[in-house]
Structure 1
């Protein structure tokens, strides 16, 4: 399905799901492992043995931030959301083939970890990751909202088709969902080192404006620009 061509400076919506729609994030440690990998694999240099690193929330937010960032990054991570059987990211390519190298590292590294932990073998994700080029500011903003609302499907699977049943409950859920970049964009420190928000700053004057923009999507049904995506 990946029809777009990557180019340095380009921005892309990247997503993939578990093979046969299986869950790929089963425990909190799985989410933490994947998020740590997003940071450590985002480097031109070979990655050290991740099995020797402690994977917990404190390690992701403090151990990394206490050290100078010497990485030469492959991509900028603008937005992300993880759900039990799939993930979404918005990436900006920084070097030639940066996205492909980054996603190859992520796919191989996380699959090896997951298979070893769960005593399984074979592919974990459903083929090659999917990618859509983001070619307008409007589409970038729509994708930011789409990704940040996506975890709501955990409690309201058909909210896009049928509307949100309880707006207040939906807002509260999203404001407490750790496995998304949404919290860092609304000034709730979560995993700020994962994202680069410089492009985002040009569209919203403050965190409150972005939060309002995302929550406006709770009143929409079937967002026209994002049909057919996970």
Structure 2
């Protein structure tokens, strides 16, 4: 049975996730994380998209991506193909780096958009990798709560759903345990 086609239209927003083959590490040190982000920027220069949030862990990753003129299939295929070539060359390996096809979920509501952003940013905490979310260096979370520039992400859409001070309201939202504590501005 053939794989289903991915839904795409200009402006489509997705939760993208991918895991290392056999749940193995796909990021071993800072060099690998930096290379992935470098590839992301290179691909974005050819296929514009907005990255709303990200978290890259040693054996998987999450991206919150809004497309512009290129289908998500084109964007992720190029990013992951280029990263796999880099990774295999670096470690003198052959074969798959990522486990199967990347996952994607179309986001069509504010609740889902914010829920995915929170889920992505909470990943290191839920995996018991850190006690404080802002400690994890390979996530966009720190730039969100400190209202600092991260050249990879554009927090404007996410911030637009919160009252001032938006970075503090987002921190409370992301660090809360339940959705009942949500303090965003309904639209």
Q: Check whether TM > 0.5.
A: yes
In the alignment, the residues of structure 2 paired with residue 140 and residue 2 of structure 1 have an alpha-carbon distance, to the nearest angstrom, of: 23
Structure 2 residue aligned with 1:208: 168
In the alignment, the residues of structure 2 paired with residue 120 and residue 194 of structure 1 have an alpha-carbon distance, to the nearest angstrom, of: 29
Q: Which has the higher contact order (CA 8 A, sep 6+)?
A: 1
Structure 2 residue aligned with 1:114: 87
Structure 2 residue aligned with 1:25: 27
1:155 and 2:128 correspond: yes
1:176 and 2:116 correspond: no
> Over the residues paired in the alignment, what is the CA RMSD in angstroms?
1.9
Partner of 1:208, secondary structure, is helix
After TM superposition, give the deviation of residue 132 of structure 1 in Å.
0.4
- Residues 37 and 17 of structure 1, relative CA distance in 2, 3 Å threshold: same
Q: Deviations over 1:35-92 (max 9, x none)?
A: 1211122122xxxxxxxxxxxxxxxxxxxxxxxxxxxx42110111011100000110
Q: Runs of at least 4 residues of structure 1 off by over 6 A?
A: none
TM-score by length of 1: 0.71
TM-score by length of 2: 0.86
Partner of 2:16, secondary structure, is strand
In the alignment, the residues of structure 2 paired with residue 41 and residue 23 of structure 1 have an alpha-carbon distance, to the nearest angstrom, of: 23
Identify which of 101, 113, 122 aligns with 1:128. Answer: 101
Q: Which runs of 5+ in 2 are unaligned?
A: 180-187
Identify which of 60, 68, 73 aligns with 1:94. Answer: 68
In the alignment, the residues of structure 2 paired with residue 3 and residue 94 of structure 1 have an alpha-carbon distance, to the nearest angstrom, of: 18
- Residues 188 and 31 of structure 1, relative CA distance in 2, 3 Å threshold: farther
Structure 2 residue aligned with 1:60: none
Q: How many residues align?
A: 175
Contact 1:25 1:85 in 2 (8 A): yes
After TM superposition, give the deviation of residue 3 of structure 1 in Å.
5.8
After TM superposition, give the deviation of residue 197 of structure 1 in Å.
1.9
In the alignment, the residues of structure 1 paired with residue 139 and residue 66 of structure 2 have an alpha-carbon distance, to the nearest angstrom, of: 17
